[in-house]
Chains A and B, each alone.
Chain A
Amino acid sequence: MPLKELKTDTENTLTIERILHTKRYSLTLDKTLCVGCEICQITCPREAIEIKKTPKKNGEKAQRPIFDVSEQKCSYCGMCEPICPFSALEVRVDGQRMVPVLEKESFPKLIREIEVDPTKCDIDCIDCQEVCPLNLISVKILAPGGKEISPEEARSMPNKENLKVKVNIEKNLSPCCRLCELKCPKGAIHVRKIMHGILRINLEKCPDGCQDCLDVCPIPGALYLDESDRKVHTNETFCVFCGTCTIVCPVKEALVLDRRTIHHTPVSSGAWNKALEKLTSAKEYSKEAKTKALTKAKKMAEKRLLLKEAS
């Protein structure tokens, strides 16, 4: 059978496949998770991904950009899967979940550091569950013996000290925005952000009345409209630095997003260095390169220099 390259678009998924007589690769996007940011597009070494701006209709709110991927270009290396802050992508080989670059330790995973101490929780508090913009948290109250009870039942129970709270967070899908941490009245949650950086709006360039960035931002509070000047302002505390806003912003340099660090598992890989270089500013990249001592890239460069001198 000759090579087949397929693309299937359904309401909730977009799948591309490469089918050979003896092997089968697929990449699936979960449209319900994808926010249309630029991270995968920047990372993909084959330039297979295109984040398409949705044209804005007059008088309507800005729409999130749309993810598209070329079934001809994709090589199913899987770099896009671990880098996606929202875990919207999934690579399979012969039907099994498998990320080739992770398998061969050629790419890191993002570190999603979220810790909860449920012993600190108020029994009937579900603030975190309510504040999570992605609905990743569920709070449960367990009666002695492990039976789950509702908050009303809990409130009417006499011996509240026997009740236990269980906070369930789907960490793998979390972009680590910290909304829950800051909302929690008891300081029970600790979240470390995946990415740090700078997000600024240049108020002089930002046109009056525009709030396109705010309309597409997946994290409430990272951007907000200030009633006093009717302009959008930023709050880096919540920003996950996905970059969706930069895609829709109609004015050059009105919005500046600069990723500085990315929290990831240790890896020694040229591919990661390159991705990092593209995702962050070059200065930051060289800082990481320095702190992690000699990377392969630097070694390679030196080797080449030596070779040249020798010949």
Chain B
Amino acid sequence: MAETPRVGVFVCHCGLNIAGVIAIKELIEYAKTLPYVVVADDNRYSCADPGQEQIRKSIENNKLNRVVVAACSPRMHEPTFRKCVMETGLNPYFFEMANIREFSSWAHGDNPEQATEKAKEIVKMAVAKAVLLQPLEAMEVPVTNKAMVLGGGIAGICAALDLADMGFKVYMVEKGESIGGHMAQLDKTFPTLDCSICIEGPKMVDVSRHPNIEIISFADVLRVDGYVGNFKVKIRKNPRNVIADNCTGCGECRDVCPVEYPNEWDMDMGVRKTISVPFDQAVPLVYTINKDYCIECYKCVDACGARQAINFDQKPEEVELDVGAVIIATGFDIYLPTDDQRYGYGKYDNVITALELERLILAAGPTRGKVVRASDGKKPHSVALIQCVGSRDVNKYEWCSGFCCMYAVKNAILLKEKYKDDVEVYILYMDMRTHFKGYEEFYRRARELGVNFIRGKASQILEDSKTKNLIIRAEDVALGEPIELETEMAVLCTAAIAKKGSDEVARIFSISRGTDGFFMESHPKLKPIDTPVDGILLAGACQAPKDIPYSVSQGSGAAGRAATILSKPKWKIEPIIAVVDQETCQNTRVKCAICQKVCPYGAASAPENQPARVTPAMCHGCGTCVAECPTDAITQMHFTDEQIMNQINAALEANPEEKILGFLCNWCSYAGADLAGTSRFEHPPTLRAIRVMCSGRVDRDFVLEAFREGAGMVLVAACHLPYDCHYISGNVWMTKRMQALKGMLEKLGLSPERFRIDYISAAEGSKFAEVITEMTEQMKALGKDRILAENEKLRPIIDRMLARKKAKKAAPTISASSK
């Protein structure tokens, strides 16, 4: 450290919120005794203008280079005071906050004496950290103002068009031969019954004509490097064996081609030629030869003639795109229940899925719009639509697939309108879910048309081997008895499931998926479009089943989110990140790469035989790698080992065996503790809390050091498992690490209750108070003697464990003890 720290401590009255409980004068006098503190002062409202002005003046007058404000929670005013400090020319990271309101005056209102004692130690810990603070610079990275949209369904189309209209260049990357997605497979759409392709088709064409959009279809994403504002995406264009620029889409080649194969687009109900487009409205309208089936007769070459569009020697081509933001809109798949004997799908000819029914009703489909049975090619006179096949089933897919009720109602209406009284339509359902605008009215229309709604889940479908009719067994909830229904066709409304290949996409983009396999948003309510990786956004059914209006809205939403990045020439990055010391990293000598394994963001990379590196713009600053690194080669800025150790020392200097040392993660448990204060949930003032951004940051050494110094109890509190962690998986790694340590310490004689790992959400103020109360009672029950005895036994062992590291590192240059 170049200059000697000169710390100023400013104690806020917060009106009577703090001053009504805590003895301010006494606290100030105490603060003055702390090392490096050159001035301690109070003000009524530090956050108000006069309060800030007082701090700024004091910094100038006393040549302060560290500032501690003892007031409310840093979650509240840390940004305010950082700014205040910065205005004097001091680095904003030379600021530390002591939370004496939520953590003391509010939490221990009826015990002013102890609240004051606790406040003193909170200030002491803040000063201990402050003296070791280092200046940090917020980084800025330039932003490439282009975007990539992955997946050309309706969600991706809307996102691309919006961004392009805002003036940004967009690459639309589609895996299939054509954009359009599921919507292009549908007949009419609920609740207005517009023809699906008639409303989507023009949008598809808009995409292809837009000067700012480049469609890259029949392509796969291979890898993604970089970070927000600066992604490099490598893409492989697969060979169509047709030169896109020369192909006019006339289809003369298709007419002469002899070989046919099942058309996936038609759910394999019809066929397409080996050289063809999946459907007539395909965009881009470029033919493709399926080499798997092509016999290379070259009839198509003849037909194509002078246009010379066919090239059997096309090779896969790799391109690299530079983009600032990525919108993932890869959609969903439907479940094909071939594995469920009960429904007879694949076994009985006249059992089909709802998507197959869409293809049959559709005038451009394989039957030119005729609904016919596979067994005899005849129109069915009765059709049963069976809801929740695979969905809402704890043994299969737990979730509700969202749009099936509505499309079942739609298809029932379409059948009724098409065949009138010549067809009887039944819908067997568990619950009819028709919320949103116009949906309930649509449901009523179906009932008015005479569609039979039967509440009950189909339990089995059997076939009459002679007529090939189906016998559907169900429990009729209204009648309260089992029923049997014979129909000529059964349509299974099957679950919407995660798109095949989502695992690969998740891996390439370092984004996460829920247990359901769909991509995870950053926050279910407040960040439903963002992923945890900055600059990568989600749209449409790839995040969860969504109908068209919802997918379209989210597509536009994602475009808006992307534009907030693309419209800036530079993107600011929080400097609280992990940095690897290239010398200490052992990856050069042994295969380690632990940091790479644990980083939830793919920010840490440790190529073989090279020291690990963390890409600053990708690092979110959870600190998991820092805690996991076996050689302590990684430092988390603003939460360094030395700073935290100094806080531990400060907290445990006096009467450690009467205290709980707690590590609270910023987003859940620290917020929960704040809430306990805000809600005035009284609890004993025994906790000395250290804030970390993520519980993943809590190093084994911190816990060891706490017990070495004689702590009565240690608490590590995190967000709830498995999904609440703000950093995806920090809490998971913490749990693994701490469970192992706990087991070891218990073997060495530590009473199990003395080391607690718990999960407290930001809403669980009461749980926080209960945990602290319970731990305090346990501590009392164990008794000081027992604790002292256990510590005595543990100390030499811990000393030995820590000595190895101590030897390597110079002891903190600035001690926390009083002058």
Contacts and interface: CB of A to CB of B under 8 A. Distances in A.
A270 B297 contact: yes
Nearest to B259: A77
Contact of A20 (B256, B271, B313, B350): B271
Nearest to B350: A1
Interface in B353-400: 356, 360, 366-367, 372, 374
A86 interface: no
Contacts of A114: none
Contacts of A251: none
A273 to B, nearest CB: 9
Nearest to B370: A22
Nearest to B264: A3
A2 B296 contact: no
Contact of A104 (B257, B261, B269, B270): B257
A160 interface: no
B262 A1 contact: no
Contacts of A100: 258-260
Contacts of A299: 301
B262 A77 contact: no
B215 interface: no
A103 B374 contact: no
A289 interface: no
B653 interface: no
B716 to A, nearest CB: 52
A281 B286 CA distance: 38
Interface in A257-311: 268-272, 274, 296-297, 299-300, 303-304, 307
A21 B293 contact: no
Given A1-B350, A2-B346, A103-B258, A304 B297 contact: no
A133 to B, nearest CB: 33
Contacts of A77: 258-259, 293, 295
A22 B298 contact: no
A79 interface: yes
A272 B297 contact: yes
Interface string B293-314: 1011111011000001001110
A270 B261 contact: no
A220 interface: no
A46 B299 CA distance: 18
B262 to A, nearest CB: 5
Contacts of B311: 304, 307
Given A21-B374, A106-B258, A304-B313, A271 B297 contact: yes
Contacts of A87: none
A106 B295 contact: yes
B448 to A, nearest CB: 31
B298 A23 contact: no
Given A2-B338, A22-B366, A106 B356 contact: no
Nearest to B336: A2
B60 interface: no
B356 A1 contact: yes
B279 to A, nearest CB: 15
Contacts of A76: 260
The binding surface of chain A is classed by DSSP as loop
A23 B269 CA distance: 8
A46 B372 CA distance: 32
B271 A75 contact: no
A131 interface: no
A296 B336 contact: no
Given A103-B258, A104-B256, A300-B312, A23 B271 contact: yes
B298 A75 contact: no
Contact of A21 (B260, B346, B356): B356
B345 A2 contact: yes
A269 B352 contact: no
Interface in A127-149: none
B268 interface: yes
Nearest to B256: A104
A274 B297 CA distance: 9
B241 to A, nearest CB: 12
Contacts of B262: 3, 18, 20
A271 B295 contact: yes
Given A1-B269, A2-B338, A75 B293 contact: yes
A45 B295 contact: yes
Contacts of A304: 311, 313
A22 B301 contact: no
A300 B270 contact: no
**What 4 A-B pairs are tightest by C-beta distance, nearest first?**
A21-B269, A106-B297, A104-B258, A271-B297
Interface of A: 1-4, 18-23, 45-46, 75-79, 100-101, 103-107, 268-272, 274, 296-297, 299-300, 303-304, 307
10 contacts: A1-B374, A3-B262, A20-B366, A21-B269, A21-B360, A21-B366, A46-B293, A77-B259, A77-B293, A304-B311
Given A20-B268, A45-B296, A274-B296, 12 more contacts: A2-B346, A19-B374, A23-B260, A75-B261, A77-B258, A78-B258, A100-B258, A101-B258, A106-B295, A270-B296, A296-B298, A307-B311
